Structure 1
Amino acid sequence: MDKPTSKNKSNKPVRAVRPLRRPRIPYTRAEIAEIFRRFSVQRPEPKGELEHVNPFTLVVAVALSAQATDAGVNRATRDLFAVADTPEKMLALGEDRVREHIKTIGLFRNKAKNVIALSRKLVDEFGGQVPRSREELVTLPGVGRKTANVVLSMAFGIPTIAVDTHIFRLGNRLRLAPGKTPDEVEAAFLRIIPETYLFHAHHWLILHGRYVCKARKPDCERCIIADLCKSKEKTTDIPAPLTPLPPQEIGGSQGAV
């Protein structure tokens, strides 16, 4: 018996829309595990480069880092956090004085407003404490998914992938976690990263993108995964492997992911 075909108002058959297929990546599970194993050897205890003293100052620092460098944010926040390291102190400082502290950062006027609004919401709705869930964090002014994920990881030890420009570039350039949006790249990385390495993967990827696989030109000669890399932009003569590596630290299939 034929399956019924759905129809629209004009009584014409309507074809079912197939869900988009995930891009097939050119790495085996063993190769992916080896990439992150090498990152773990290179940087056993990676640290974020934004200076902070508690979850509140971390939220503020990450929110301020949008369209700014970590070094630039650190220069601006050292004096700010010395006098205002809690939401209550930030509110007492006031928007004008916050603006003076961060005026060297891009978009400082709007960011100063967000810092005050964020502080007020923390005091009024969360008892002055930074919430521990992504759903609550993204309700804070100036806090998006990326900022929330950084806070969950760095402040509360919850494994996440916060997709900034570096991680977005790596996911697509290396063909490890291709995606058209940060959310797609985040989901793709979460599917492939072995659980053993997930907690530090965020920092490994950021640091690799910042200092080695740079935006203008990747420094492949200094890259510890150059022999595994299957990027079309690779500048070394080291060929990527044509056959799967032996399984390492993971079980299951050796086939492509």
Structure 2
Amino acid sequence: MLLDVRDLQVRFDTPDGVVEAVRGLDFELAGGESLGIVGESGSGKSQSVLALLGLLAANARVSGSARLAGGDGGIELIGARRRVLERVRGARIAMIFQDPMTALNPHLRIVTQIAEVLVRHRGLRGRAARARAIEMLEAVRIPDAARRARYFPHQFSGGMRQRVMIAMALACEPEILVADEPTTALDVTVQAEILDLLAEARARTGAALVLITHDLGVVAGQCERMLVMREGEVVERGGIEGIFAAPEHDYTRALLAAVPRLDPPGGGGS
């Protein structure tokens, strides 16, 4: 098993008291597998994976276990020292954030930001790092990549910035790719292009995928298994086909009912 998460708890200390964002989350992820984590805003989806990577706010308290395969007995991510997490982030687990405009540094050229990951985790330097960065931009189908690599983030469209985020996440060929609402705020055509890129990248690298989304249509096209989260807890889990065909929880049925359909009610013709 590549990643084994047990009894993950995330709490935030606030002026109004303790907020329980994630309660008792369990899941496993095998190499090359695709897992969707689904739920509405505030259900605890993003906080779950941010907790694994040590990226939560300072007022967060995290407990439980998240063991990443490797070495003697694996690497425990929960409570790990900063230097341990820094070796994992970007190299073994990479994240595509929901808003690339805030995730990317507005003051640095794109080539510099991608090269930084390669310098840190692959030991590349100078021309070699820049050449690899341009190669990654070409891999995500950014036209005239050698010239556009010198652009700043604001010079790209939303869809192109998301491509840059994918290129950066894939630069070190991680074993796990986490995509947090990767198509939010993009038009339908661009959404499809981004999802195609993710599928191509996984096929090429063999990376496992954790896809965080509220869109069941996206999960249906990208994932093999899914967790449905509500108010910090998993209310349903299983294979995509089984849940879509016969959801057991009322909340899952409500989410499925909200998915736009092209066929008329009842499946009848006109």
- Greater C-alpha Rg: 1
Fold shared per TM-score above 0.5: no
| Greater per-residue strand proportion | 2
Q: Higher helix fraction: Structure 1 or Structure 2?
A: 1
Instruction: Please report the TM-score for the alignment, with normalisation by the length of structure 2.
Output: 0.27
